Structure 1
């Protein structure tokens, strides 16, 4: 069973094997703040775009 909820403090990966760490999920604004592993800068994007690109996995 899969869940569509994006979890903060979790790792996600895309089809190109880019691994990102989710710092914050804002349900009210429907945004996700994440950063690629190994980088200090953060990206904030719409939740629907994040869901279409990334899926959760365990290291």
Structure 2
């Protein structure tokens, strides 16, 4: 009877660990997506600033 309990506990422990791995991967992908979005947003802002600078220069000329 103790063997059955040990097997059940091992299976439950494995399942809990698998769930944690999924959460870690999901969190990792979410962080990567946020990082990518920040980079894209920063790049767009830089492009907007460059465009504004060009307009200002054109207006002065």
TM-score normalised by L of structure 2 = 0.16
Q: So what's the TM-score if we normalise by structure 1?
A: 0.16
Relative contact order: is structure 1 or structure 2 higher (C-alpha 8 Å, sep ≥ 6)?
Answer: 1
Instruction: Indicate the structure (1 or 2) with the bigger Cα radius of gyration.
Output: 2
Larger strand share, 1 or 2: 1
